Structure 1
Amino acid sequence: MLNYNGELLAFEDVKISANNRAFKYGDSVFETVKVLNGKVVFWEDHYFRLMASMRMIRMKIPIEFTLEFLEQEILKTAQTIDSQKPLRARLSIFRKDGGLYKPTSNEVDYLIEVDEINSVEKSTYRVDLYKDFYLYSGHLSTIKSNNKLLQTLASVYADENDLDNCILLNERKGVVETINSNIFLIKGDTIKTPPLTEGCLKGVIRKKVIEILSENKEYSIEESAITPFEIQKADEVFMTNSITGIQSITHYRKKEFATEITQKIKASLKLKEITGK
């Protein structure tokens, strides 16, 4: 079942117009969240990021779009899935039909999709750089919009080259993120991740990992620019997103990475997921 503007409908009964602005112009933002034990994991962080994204692209936020309302709409949709597994929910918000580049209205519609999470952490995970096109290091790159053509092309490249993922670069040739995740490098007792000014997504799990590391006296966390050369010098590299949580990168070109520290951080993140703190 899909949730279209609050109404639960079978997939085939959802009628999206040919004038849908998400389809025509990528005029949409979205949040992908994990539903675990009947709760939306880290929902408050996702909600405030979503509201900030809507304001940034000048969508009119409906008065009913409260934290509680949208959470209940996600859980209402999740309850239509008969499964004991964790669930992935995607909440898409798009401007109402009409107009060319200039919309006729800033009011919005929304669609919620839910399915099971069947992915597991891979013990071997290979990545390389994607250099055909670059992410622009501006504020629009930090939000989850439907404009994902670069990520689509990088995914095709990864598939053609037997890679699990690709590392994306910005126009300054700095490391930004992977196709679907933020990225962290571990070297000694220092853990680095690119700052938002490099164009990386303002990831919820990125934020949680920074919180975990900031409270851990064993390591220092830095948000600073990273060059591709630094990846080869790292001891460990890992990725973060809201569905997988943390995934170790084990191979980059001829370099093979350890995973011990990453696994400790992953255990701390799982505890946060369960407790919500």
Structure 2
Amino acid sequence: MINFNGTIVAEQANILTQNRGFLYGDAVFETVRVRNGVVLFLEDHYFRLMASMRVVRMEIPMDFTMEYFEEQLLVVAQVNEVSNSARVRITVYRNDGGYYLPKNNTISFLVHATALKDAYYVLDENTYEVDLFKDFYITKQLLSSIKSTNRMLNTTASIYASENGLDNCLLLNDSKNVVEAIQGNVFMLLGSKLITPPVAEGCLNGVMRKQILVLAKKIEGIEVIEEVISPFDLQKADELFVTNVVKGVQPITKYRKKSFQTKIAAQLVAYLNEQIVS
């Protein structure tokens, strides 16, 4: 028997009592965008998930191929009738058993899907204000670069942003450098340089980050580099934006007293849409 919300019930009534993803954050996940029955950037998502599972020593089933991965995502989008434009998440967790030390490294997974309004990436030019989140810091280590379900820092930063009337926060690492935003990688245009922090700084190895690093090189006169960004650099920037697979490119229009243009962000959204329909 267990106590669930103040009521004594049979342990079997709550499947979370042994779920390692719930108890220990012993899970990794991928969030993908589906458009017209196609998983965008499928290969990048699949190999990042496989790499994440290897990092945390999960056992990858022999039949967990890229084709199987794709099928599991699409079937959920189809049965929910959202295949035209959807956000689909797969969470892979280590199976029940053990405490900190698991009894085995086999896995199970859960997939769910929700509809997205637009089939294309859309540039949002509304006011989008950010500030620094300084209560907790990201550590410069390999675990920071993968998508585990331990997102307490991001959750707390989201609450902080909401309480302070912000649209997002920029997160810092333990060297007090800017690493990423709450739900995506950050890019900064400084003169002719488009800069994003290296993964070694502790930022997520984002799938959209990878796309932007390639697409931005198509913009004439722009040098694309991975380099440390300090909070002082933000005040000198010409443009700031956040990237993730679901949103694409989200321009930041205001940081403290500084306002920013959205020119490069607009070009990149156009390039993204060209890429997904080609």
Note whether the superposition's TM-score is higher than 0.5: yes
State how far apart, in whole Å, the 2-side matches of 1:248 and 1:153 are. 22
Distance 2:200 2:81 in 1: 42
Deviations 1:203-231 (A, max 9, x none): 00000000112344421011010001111
Aligned residue in 2 for 1:62? 61
- TM-score, normalised to structure 2, is 0.91
- Counterpart of 1:181 in structure 2: which amino acid? G
Instruction: Name the SS for the 1:146 alignment partner.
Output: coil
Q: 79-88 or 67-76, which moves further after superposition?
A: 79-88
Unpaired segments ≥5 residues, structure 1: 1-13
Residue pair 2:128, 2:167 contacting (<8 A) in 1 also: yes
Q: Deviations over 1:26-51 (max 9, x none)?
A: 00000000000110000100000000
Number of aligned residue pairs: give it: 262
Which of 205, 208, 231 is the matching residue for 1:205? 208
Q: Secondary structure at the match of 1:32?
A: strand
| Separation in structure 2 between the aligned mates of residue 83 and residue 153 of structure 1, nearest angstrom | 31
Q: Matched residues in 2 for 1:111 and 1:78: separation?
A: 13
Q: Give the corresponding residue for 2:49.
A: 50
Indicate how the Cα distance of structure 1 residues 122 and 16 shifts in structure 2: closer, same or farther if over 3 A, else same. farther
Q: Confirm or deny that 1:179 pairs with 2:178.
A: no
Q: Please name the residue that 2:191 is paired with.
A: 188
The match for 2:230 is 227
Please report how far the alpha carbon of residue 118 of structure 1 lies from its aligned counterpart in structure 2 after TM superposition.
4.0
Q: Matched residues in 1 for 2:80 and 2:154: separation?
A: 29
CA pair 216-256 structure 1, distance change in 2 beyond 3 A:
closer
Matched letter for residue 28 of structure 1 = A
Give a deviation string over 1:97-116, Cα, whole Å, max 9, x none. Answer: 01000000100000001011
Q: Out of 142, 154, 168, which is 2:145 matched to?
A: 142
| CA distance, structure 1, for counterparts of residue 83 and residue 139 of structure 2 | 40
Q: What's the CA shift string for 1:238-262, capped at 9, x where partnerless?
A: 1100100000000001111011121
Q: What is the CA–CA distance in structure 2 between the aligned matches of 1:16 and 1:31, rounded to whole Å?
A: 22
Alpha-carbon shift at residue 117 of structure 1 (Å): 1.9
Deviation at 1:267, TM superposition (A): 0.8
- Pairwise CA distance, 1:16: 3.5
Instruction: Tell me whether 1:236 sits opposite 2:239 in the alignment.
Output: yes
Cα pair 2:77 2:83 within 8 Å, conserved: no
- Once residues 163 and 104 of structure 1 are traced to their aligned partners in structure 2, the CA distance between those partners, rounded to angstroms, is 43
Structure 1 position 124, deviation (Å): 1.1
CA distance in structure 1 between the aligned counterparts of 2:18 and 2:167, rounded to whole angstroms: 35
TM-score, normalising length from structure 1? 0.91
- Bigger Cα displacement from structure 2, 82-91 vs 99-108: 82-91
* Counterpart-to-counterpart distance in 2, 1:254 and 1:166: 15
Q: Residues 262-273 of structure 1: matches in 2 within 5 Å?
A: 262-273=265-276
Q: How does 1:93-108 map to 2 (within 5 A)?
A: 93-108=92-107
- Counterparts of 1:144 and 1:237, CA distance in 2: 23
Match of 1:132 in 2: 135
1:17 Cα deviation (Å)?
3.3
Mapping for residues 248-263 of structure 1, pairs under 5 Å: 248-263=251-266
Q: Could you say if the C-alpha distance between residues 179 and 65 of structure 1 is closer, same or farther in structure 2, counting changes exceeding 3 Å?
A: same
**Percent identity (aligned):** 48
Matched to 1:70, the amino acid is: F
Code of the residue aligned with 1:171 in structure 2: it is: D
Kindly report which structure 2 residues correspond to 1:29-40, keeping only aligned pairs within 5 A, or say none: 29-40=28-39
Gaps of 5+ in 2: 1-12
Kindly provide the amino acid, as one letter, of the partner of residue 35 in structure 1: V
Look up the SS of the partner of 1:233 in the other structure: coil
C-alpha RMSD over aligned residues: 1.5
**Which SS does the other structure have where 1:23 is aligned?**
helix
Alignment-mate amino acid for residue 184 of structure 1: F
Partner residue, 1:27: 26
> Shift of the alpha carbon at 1:202?
0.3
Mark the CA change 1:67 to 1:229 in structure 2 (over 3 Å): closer, same or farther.
same
Runs of 4+ in 1 over 6 A off after TM superposition: none
